[in-house]
Amino acid sequence: MPNIIGMIFGLEKCAVVNVRRGRLAEGENVELSDGRTVPILGQEERYKYLGIQQTFEIRQQENKMETERELIRRVRRIMNTQLSAKNKMEAINIWAVPVFAYTAGILIWSKSDLEKLDRKIRSILTQYGTLHPNSAIERLYLPRKEGGRGLSNLQDIYLKEEKKIKNYFQTGITPIQKWVASQRYPSSGETSTHEPEIEDFKEILKQNWQTKPLHGRFFASLNQSDVDKLSSSTYLTQGYLFPQTEGTFLAIQDQVVPTRVYTKHIMKQQVQTTKCRLCDKAEETVQHLSSGCSTIAGTKYLGRHDNMGKVVHQSLCLREQLLPHFIPHHIYAPQTILENETTKVYWDLSIITDRGVEHNRPDMVVWSKKDKKAYIIDFAVPLDQNLSKAYGEKIAKYEPLAKEIKNMWRLEKVEIKPLIISCNGLVHRKTTEHVKEIQLPANTILWMQKAVILGTVGIIRQAIYPH
């Protein structure tokens, strides 16, 4: 028979067990017609089929321990690599988690088994500084484009695999599928519509995230109508941050960094004062440190703001051939005026007008000579909840200047383009629109956001963990 269908048995992968009345019994090797033999499996020997150790039964406990050991070993190996935050999560999903997923439907994992395994993986992430222990757990398992980190959740995986297997048997037409279905799922035919939908897992996570008093604040900010959600998650979808930086940044968004207010009111620890350790004036909250502290306004906030602006300045000047070549962002210093036949670009310079205006020093003015047009570009890094307000303020602030410039330079049009990204990286819808209107390269937002994020993480780290 094997010769006819061209099939070869890999005898080295075969073994025989003898079972008499439900117990493993002594037996002999089986001799095949072609003279080869299939060896008998000894009493204490194991036979591995599709990765599961088995004899004539599946040894649940033993196999589960082995699965857990291998899963955790692989997670640790991934954490010891130099991969970025996103790549580590993906490596866990595609290299570690399948060790477990494979066993779904064969090994029986209880809800608490699964919770324990998920917790174990989280605690390893915490050990490596990738996940702040008080950060929103929900975000870890949500897709990156929705503000999450895209890690597979074992409970979710297990339920989905089980459902697939159940579906395979219940919809199968072969006698064996029907028999298995009748044995394993005897009365579930009509009740299946009442089972909780597993696809809802993501929705449940979002609801939980939304309703948490502290973590829910960033959820609300992310879902403000003026926020470009997709652009705001660029740092997550691109995944360029170091694992520790990503972990710290999410802890800042989740508002779980140990500021004095957090230490006193959330951690319930004794503190001498809840006033800011830098200015000693305001309450030391993460918002205050991120964007409201007078002590660092002229230095660190300004630096963060300028770094974001420099990205736009360089990108625009390269396009207008005002610069010969790209200079790495961290060493790029814009010149106050750059000019050629077609374009003139001002950086942080007072524009002297015939009639004086109160605000005449925007971050950038771009004068396009041939189009008889100019843009006033101004940057801001406000708190998440002030995103819309900041935009409106910029427009109002520079309207008089726009009018003056239009008259003085005899232009057809002067437009104000506020480019705003909040200190937690939220991108205003208008920022995305304006970057397109100015025809800057698509990755401009990525670099602007990166400048803001590294700025905020640096500011918080220096304030809270100065050493």
Q: Which pair of tokens denotes residue 54?
A: 């088995």
SS3 304: helix
The site that binds Zn ion (CB under 5 A) totals a number of residues, namely 4
- Between 293 and 387, name the residue whose CB sits nearer to Zn ion: 293
Q: Which amino acid is at 156?
A: D
- Minimum Å gap between C-beta 285 and Zn ion is 10
- Minimum Å gap between C-beta 276 and Zn ion is 3
SS3 154: helix
Q: Judged by CB under 5 A, which stretch of 159-167, 176-184, 274-282, 454-462 contacts Zn ion? A: 274-282
- Between 107 and 276, name the residue whose CB sits nearer to Zn ion: 276
E strand or H helix at 30: strand 30-31
Q: What is the DSSP string of 80-135?
A: TS---HHHHHHHIIIIIHHHHHTTBTTB---HHHHHHHHHHHHHHHHHTTSS-TTS
- Minimum Å gap between C-beta 127 and Zn ion is 32
- Minimum Å gap between C-beta 279 and Zn ion is 3
- Between 82 and 272, name the residue whose CB sits nearer to Zn ion: 272
How far is residue 276's CA from residue 260's CA, in Å, rounded to a whole number? 7
Binding marks (x or -) toward Zn ion, 219..258, rule CB under 5 A? ----------------------------------------
Q: How many angstroms from the chain centroid is the CA of residue 135?
A: 13
Q: Judged by CB under 5 A, which stretch of 2-10, 20-28, 57-65, 287-295 contacts Zn ion? A: 287-295
- Between 278 and 351, name the residue whose CB sits nearer to Zn ion: 278
- Between 382 and 418, name the residue whose CB sits nearer to Zn ion: 382
Q: How many C-beta neighbours within 10 Å does residue 228 have?
A: 18
- Minimum Å gap between C-beta 243 and Zn ion is 29
Q: H-type helices in 361-443, by residue range? A: 387-408, 429-437
How far is residue 348's CA from residue 378's CA, in Å, rounded to a whole number? 9
Is the CB of residue 361 less than 8 Å from the CB of residue 348?
yes
- Minimum Å gap between C-beta 309 and Zn ion is 24
Is residue 279 near Zn ion by the rule CB under 5 A?
A: yes
C-alpha distance from residue 201 to each of 75, 153, 217, 219 (Å): 23, 10, 21, 17
Q: Which of residues 288-307 bind Zn ion (CB under 5 A)?
A: 293
Beta-strand relationship, 23-25 and 18-20: antiparallel
- Minimum Å gap between C-beta 293 and Zn ion is 3
- Between 261 and 323, name the residue whose CB sits nearer to Zn ion: 261
- Minimum Å gap between C-beta 297 and Zn ion is 9
Q: Judged by CB under 5 A, which stretch of 108-116, 271-279, 364-372, 435-443 contacts Zn ion? A: 271-279
- Between 101 and 293, name the residue whose CB sits nearer to Zn ion: 293
Place of tokens 């580590």: 88
SS3 26: coil
- Between 145 and 275, name the residue whose CB sits nearer to Zn ion: 275
The only residue of 136, 181, 236, 276 in contact with Zn ion, by rule CB under 5 A:
276
Binding site for Zn ion (CB under 5 A): 276, 278-279, 293
